[in-house]
């Protein structure tokens, strides 16, 4: 008579370190699946932008200022023949603001972005878990240049932009460190900028005496 084969599974206890590593691995797997569009877990308001723009290459046809530009693809949300992008996590001084006008180092920042991007192919990367549009319905994105370097990071590292602390994003800590390095080296605007020339939001965070 045939004997029945019994298999007993034994689960060994995991150390705290291994449990932590497993959690990290699981999070990375989920993130990778989302970014590859294999899981439909993104908010419905974000998903159309993710499918249309994320990790795709377009040509810059106009630079508005240091942190805002237009690319050569229609924007279905705005029903416009081009798409306007606002860079995630950075804020360059204004050049045409209706209230603040031309701010200190605004033209220099705009020229820096124009020299690097105008009529050039750029790769657009969106945040996986944050909103894809700002209150003006501009697409929020990280821009990668033809050499695959980050425009967002270059603006900060060379002192053409402020690390925008008002909003959460995946590179927030890195962007703040790039800004600190530029401050220490007195690069770009950090060489001569005066407190009254900071954007109001920056003064509100860093100057307790500031009264808007």
What's the CA gap between 82 and 85, in Å, rounded? 10
What residues does 71 pair with on adjacent strands? Answer: 60, 83
Side-chain-facing half-sphere of 199: CA atoms under 13 Å: 19
Which percentage of the chain shows pLDDT scores above 90?
66
Provide the pLDDT for residue 130: 86
Per-residue pLDDT at 9 exceeds 50: no
Tens-place pLDDT, residues 198-212: 999 999 998 877 666
Per-residue pLDDT at 59 exceeds 60: yes
Tens-place pLDDT, residues 114-140: 999 999 999 999 998 888 999 999 999
Q: Which residue among 94, 114, 127, 153 is the active-site one?
A: 94
Three-class DSSP category at 79: coil
Q: Which residue among 114, 123, 127, 138 is the active-site one?
A: 138
What's the CA gap between 47 and 43, in Å, rounded? 6
Provide the pLDDT for residue 187: 98
94 a catalytic residue: yes
Per-residue pLDDT at 7 exceeds 50: no
138 a catalytic residue: yes
Mean pLDDT of the chain: 86
Average pLDDT over residues 139-150: 98
Provide the pLDDT for residue 164: 96
- Domains with residue ranges and CATH for the chain: 47-206 (2.40.50.90)
Per-residue pLDDT at 40 exceeds 60: no
Could you tell me the pTM of the whole model?
A: 0.77
Per-residue pLDDT at 28 exceeds 70: no
Structure tokens at 112: 């820096």
Q: Which residue among 86, 123, 127, 153 is the active-site one?
A: 86
Longest dimension (CA), the chain: 93
Residues 6+ positions from 57 with CB-CB distance below 8 Å? 121, 122, 123, 124
């Amino acid at each position: 008579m045939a004997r029945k084969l019994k298999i007993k599974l034994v689960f060994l206890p995991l150390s705290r370190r291994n449990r932590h590593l497993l959690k990290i691995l699981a999070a990375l797997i989920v993130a990778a699946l989302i970014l590859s569009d294999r899981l439909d877990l993104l908010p419905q308001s974000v998903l159309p932008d993710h499918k249309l723009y994320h990790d795709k290459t377009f040509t810059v046809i106009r630079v508005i200022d240091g942190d805002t530009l237009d690319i050569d693809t229609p924007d279905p949300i705005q029903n416009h023949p081009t798409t306007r992008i606002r860079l995630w996590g950075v804020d360059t001084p204004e050049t045409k603001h209706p209230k603040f006008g031309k701010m200190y180092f605004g033209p220099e920042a705009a020229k820096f972005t124009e020299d690097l991007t105008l009529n050039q192919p750029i790769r657009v990367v969106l945040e996986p878990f944050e909103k894809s549009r700002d209150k003006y319905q501009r697409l929020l994105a990280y821009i990668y240049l033809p050499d695959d370097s980050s425009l967002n990071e270059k603006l900060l590292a060379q002192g053409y932009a402020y690390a925008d602390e008002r909003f959460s994003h995946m590179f927030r800590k890195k962007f703040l460190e790039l800004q600190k390095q530029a401050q220490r080296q007195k690069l770009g605007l950090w060489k001569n900028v005066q407190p009254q020339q900071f954007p109001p939001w920056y003064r509100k965070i860093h100057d307790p005496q500031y009264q808007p």
